[in-house]
């Protein structure tokens, strides 16, 4: 709030005041009142006016300034009413009430959306669980009744399962729900489970799964981490090069900041122009357009999940040479102390 | 023969699970009476239970808790609930393992085998004809000489021994190997099997492992 602008806002008052003095002067002149008397009244009036303006200005200023500061400081500006107290002057009270009503209506609106989101997520969760039952039956049937298309049916079922999982984890990480459980997890076990689950695809595409001996434990949710690794490995399978010795090399090492898990493949790589966008939603890039199965969701979901879990995921690549994804599990000093 | 009780409310899955178990040397039993599930379990006295969480009348987790109060029959939870929290809860209620649907059948069999093996501690030595196989050390002995098997050969031979008179598919062997952190490829499996054959030949069993074309291997 600027005092001069505030005064300018009261220009009308000053014009009336000026008119008042002109009339007063004429009146005093007509009644032959001494000129000194007029001066005295003029000084007194001006003094009182300025005093009352100052008082009014500062009363308002403390409220508006607090309001303005809080709005620009808060990252959720709509919470501003929680941060300031109700003002003393009428106009401010009025404004406060209006802000309060607007806020209330917005919250009701947001709450409505939140409820809808939650019920939608619950529905997705339920649907995924339901759809997994026939999937399980079909997988068992293929195993129990061998036929002509076993391998193809199994791999199509696996694809179906992957897509269903993607829906589930997308719903989980897009919503504010806390569906994960952070525990101390054996990295080697997670890598083994991912390998076992994707064994057929890896063998089928003749990609060697090379795993260094790893003996690290990290703080994470093992189910989520398995899903993240699967997205990375699925990409390696999808974007392999037509060379005889394709491989995925998984290794882990300790760094200053924590434990790093690295997944390296010698596939077609990612063009330098695309690499900064691979974690973006629905980004398919030059490689994606070559492969019809690309949805551009896998790495996006993997990244959002890593963010939720507090891991740092990054990617580097050289076109037609390699792609290397690294996940950093930061050291948790608080947990170390507790342990 | 080990008897495995299937507690699952989807009739198709029950049927297929039973087929799978029966085909792999177990006896699958389907639980019919969910209302008195606990009594039925105690009456049937199975060697292992495959338990779903979402079953009629009682929640699977509650059934597990009540079962644990009276018995320590091994239980594998088989469910489509796949959060880490569900798993941690089930394990804390006393489940021996936790598998999420849809599972790879080979992995399910592997986990069943592992849980049953844990119950059976006396599997240090396995006998095959006049040979003794020390599975911890990976040594095959016939009284006169000893042959040392590599880790991969040991895993393969052990798996074949555990499934006598069953055709073991390459896929099953592969799953078993990968489950033991040996992430080998198809060629390596072929090489390992022929090495194992050569070693068996040295102790006089040249044709012990017979190839069934398109199906797998059979230990004669």
Q: Return all residues near B85 (Cβ < 8 A) that are at least 6 apart.
A: A179, A180, A181
- Residue A51 pLDDT exceeds 80: yes
- Nearest neighbour of A223 by CB, restricted to B17, B82, B186: B82
A125-173 pLDDT, tens digit per residue, is 889 988 999 999 999 998 888 888 888 888 899 889 999 999 988 888 8
* Final residue in a domain of this structure, among A60, A85, A110: A85
Contact B83 A180 (CB under 8 A): yes
CATH architecture of B3-119: 3-Layer(aba) Sandwich (3.40)
**CB-side neighbour CA atoms (13 Å) of B105:** 27
Are residues A197 and A73 located together in one domain of the fold?
no
We report the CATH number of the domain holding residue A308 as 3.30.565.10
Distances (CA, A) of A37 to A41, A61, A144, A271, B5: 6, 36, 115, 89, 112
Chain A nearest-CA residue for B88: A181
Q: How many distinct structural domains can be found in chain A?
A: 2
Q: Return all residues near A140 (Cβ < 8 A) that are at least 6 apart.
A: B13, B16, B17, B19, B20, B105
CA A107 to chain centre: 20
- Residue B172 pLDDT exceeds 80: yes
Q: Return all residues near B185 (Cβ < 8 A) that are at least 6 apart.
A: A203, A206, A208
A84-100 pLDDT, tens digit per residue, is 888 888 888 999 999 99
Is residue A283 included in any domain, yes or no?
Answer: yes
CATH for the B125-219 domain, from 3.80.30.20, 2.60.120.20, 1.10.10.10, 1.10.357.20 = 1.10.10.10
Residue A326's nearest CA partner among A267, A285, A265 is A265
Q: How confident is the model at residue A259 (pLDDT cuts 50, 70, 90)?
A: very high
Contact B80 A136 (CB under 8 A): yes
Are residues A188 and A331 located together in one domain of the fold?
yes
> Rounded to a whole number, what is the distance in Å from the CA of B20 to chain A's nearest CA?
6
Q: What is the CA radius of gyration of chain A?
A: 35
- Residue A31 pLDDT exceeds 70: yes
Are residues A216 and A81 located together in one domain of the fold?
no
Which residues in chain B are contacts of A180 at CB distance < 8 A?
Answer: 83-85
B52-87 pLDDT, tens digit per residue, is 988 888 888 889 999 988 888 999 999 887 788 888
pLDDT at residue B213 in the model = 83
Burial of A222 by CB count in 10 Å (0-12 exposed, 13-18 middle, 19+ buried)? Answer: buried
* Final residue in a domain of this structure, among A33, A53, A85: A85
Its domain, for residue A67, covers 3-85
- Residue B191 pLDDT exceeds 70: yes
Which residues in chain B are contacts of A161 at CB distance < 8 A?
Answer: 102
- Residue B28 pLDDT exceeds 70: yes
Mean pLDDT to the nearest integer, A324-335: 85
Q: Find tokens 């879990």 and name the residue.
A: A309
**DSSP code per residue over B161-174:** HHSTTSPBPHHHHH
| Residue of A121, A133, A135, A154 to mutate for B, most B C-beta atoms under 10 A | A133
Q: Return all residues near A323 (Cβ < 8 A) that are at least 6 apart.
A: A235, A236, A239, A264, A265, A267, A269, A270, A315, A316, A317
Element at A261 (helix H, strand E): strand A258-265
Are residues A193 and A307 located together in one domain of the fold?
yes
pTM: 0.79
Contact B105 A139 (CB under 8 A): yes
Quote the CA–CA distance of A154 and A138 in Å, as a whole number: 9
Chain B nearest-CA residue for A223: B84
Are residues A76 and A195 located together in one domain of the fold?
no
pLDDT at residue B4 in the model = 93
Task: Tell me the two tokens of residue A325.
Answer: 């994804």
Quote the CA–CA distance of B61 and B94 in Å, as a whole number: 9
Helix axes B105-119, B11-23, angle to 10 degrees: 60
**In contact, A6 and A23? CB cutoff 8 Å:** no
Is residue A139 included in any domain, yes or no?
Answer: no
pLDDT at residue A146 in the model = 83
Chain A nearest-CA residue for B105: A140
- Nearest neighbour of A203 by CB, restricted to B80, B101, B185: B185
Model ipTM value: 0.81
Q: Return all residues near B82 (Cβ < 8 A) that are at least 6 apart.
A: A168, A223, B100
> Rounded to a whole number, what is the distance in Å from the CA of B87 to chain A's nearest CA?
10
CB atoms within 10 A of CB A108: 9
Is residue A193 included in any domain, yes or no?
Answer: yes
User: Is A224 an interface residue toward B (CB < 8 Å)?
Assistant: yes
Mean pLDDT to the nearest integer, B21-33: 89
Element at A253 (helix H, strand E): strand A247-254
Beta-bridge partner residues of B75? B49
Three-class secondary structure of residue B104 per DSSP? coil
CA dihedral A62, A68, A70, A73 (to 10 degrees): -140
Contact A192 B178 (CB under 8 A): yes
User: Is A136 an interface residue toward B (CB < 8 Å)?
Assistant: yes
Are residues A333 and A188 located together in one domain of the fold?
yes
**In contact, A170 and A124? CB cutoff 8 Å:** no
Is residue A99 included in any domain, yes or no?
Answer: no
Burial of A104 by CB count in 10 Å (0-12 exposed, 13-18 middle, 19+ buried)? Answer: exposed
Least confident of A236-240, A288-292, A302-306, B114-118: A288-292
| Residue of A126, A128, A136, A168 to mutate for B, most B C-beta atoms under 10 A | A136
Are residues A192 and A327 located together in one domain of the fold?
yes
Which residues in chain A are contacts of B185 at CB distance < 8 A?
Answer: 203, 206, 208
Task: Tell me the two tokens of residue B213.
Answer: 């074309």
**In contact, A183 and A222? CB cutoff 8 Å:** yes
Is residue A90 included in any domain, yes or no?
Answer: no
A267-295 pLDDT, tens digit per residue, is 898 888 888 888 988 888 777 767 666 77
Mean pLDDT to the nearest integer, A181-198: 91
Is residue A195 included in any domain, yes or no?
Answer: yes
Quote the CA–CA distance of B73 and B16 in Å, as a whole number: 23
* Final residue in a domain of this structure, among A34, A60, A85: A85
Chain region(s) in chain B for CATH 3.40.50.2300: 3-119
Are residues A187 and A313 located together in one domain of the fold?
yes
Residue B105's nearest CA partner among B31, B23, B38, B190 is B23
pLDDT at residue B123 in the model = 63
């Amino acid at each position: 709030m600027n005092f001069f602008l505030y005064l300018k806002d009261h220009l009308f008052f000053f014009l009336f005041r000026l008119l008042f003095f002109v009339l007063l002067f004429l009146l005093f002149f007509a009644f032959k009142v001494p000129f000194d008397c007029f001066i005295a009244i003029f000084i007194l009036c001006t003094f009182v006016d300025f005093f009352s303006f100052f008082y009014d200005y500062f009363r308002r200023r403390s409220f508006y300034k607090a309001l303005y500061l809080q709005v620009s400081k808060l990252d959720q500006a709509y919470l501003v009413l929680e941060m300031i107290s109700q003002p003393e002057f009428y106009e401010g009270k009025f404004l406060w009430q209006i802000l309060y009503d607007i806020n209330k209506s917005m919250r009701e609106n947001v709450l409505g959306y939140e409820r809808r989101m939650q019920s939608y997520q619950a529905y997705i969760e339920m649907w995924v669980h339901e759809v997994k039952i026939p999937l399980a039956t079909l997988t068992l049937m293929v195993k129990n009744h061998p036929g002509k298309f076993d391998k193809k049916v199994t791999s199509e079922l696996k694809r179906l399962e992957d897509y269903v999982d993607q829906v589930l984890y997308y719903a989980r990480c897009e919503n504010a729900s806390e569906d994960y459980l952070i525990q101390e997890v054996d990295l080697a076990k997670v890598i083994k489970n991912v390998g076992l689950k994707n064994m057929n695809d890896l063998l089928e595409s003749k990609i060697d799964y090379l795993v260094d001996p790893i003996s690290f434990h990290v703080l994470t949710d093992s189910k989520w981490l398995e899903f993240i690794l699967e997205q990375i490995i699925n990409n390696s399978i999808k974007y392999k090069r037509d060379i005889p010795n394709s491989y995925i090399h998984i290794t882990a090492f300790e760094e200053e900041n924590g434990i790093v898990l690295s997944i390296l493949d010698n596939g077609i790589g990612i063009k330098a122009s695309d690499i900064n966008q691979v974690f973006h939603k629905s980004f398919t890039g030059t490689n994606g357009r070559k492969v019809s199965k690309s949805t551009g969701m896998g790495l996006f979901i993997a990244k959002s999940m890593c963010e939720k879990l507090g891991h740092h995921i990054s990617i580097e690549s050289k076109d037609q040479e390699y792609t290397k994804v690294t996940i950093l599990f930061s050291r948790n000093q608080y947990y170390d102390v507790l342990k | 023969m080990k008897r495995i009780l299937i507690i699952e409310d989807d009739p198709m899955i029950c049927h297929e699970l039973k087929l799978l178990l029966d085909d792999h040397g177990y006896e699958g039993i389907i639980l019919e009476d969910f209302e008195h599930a606990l009594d039925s379990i105690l009456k049937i006295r199975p060697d292992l239970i495959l338990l779903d969480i979402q079953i009629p009348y009682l929640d699977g987790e509650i059934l597990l808790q009540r079962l644990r109060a009276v018995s320590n029959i091994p239980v594998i939870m088989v469910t489509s609930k796949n959060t880490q929290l569900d798993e941690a809860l089930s394990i804390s209620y006393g489940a021996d393992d936790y598998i999420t649907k849809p599972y790879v059948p080979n992995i399910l069999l592997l986990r069943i085998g592992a849980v049953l093996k844990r119950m059976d501690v006396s599997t240090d030595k396995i006998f095959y004809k006049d040979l003794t196989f020390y599975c911890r050390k990976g040594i095959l002995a016939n009284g006169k000489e000893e042959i040392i098997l590599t880790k991969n050969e040991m895993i393969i031979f052990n798996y074949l021994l555990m499934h006598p008179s069953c055709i073991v598919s390459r896929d099953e062997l592969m799953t078993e190997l990968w489950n033991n952190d040996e992430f080998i490829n198809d060629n390596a499996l072929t090489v390992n099997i022929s090495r194992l054959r050569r070693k068996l030949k040295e102790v006089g069993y040249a044709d012990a492992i017979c190839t069934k074309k398109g199906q797998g291997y059979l230990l004669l």
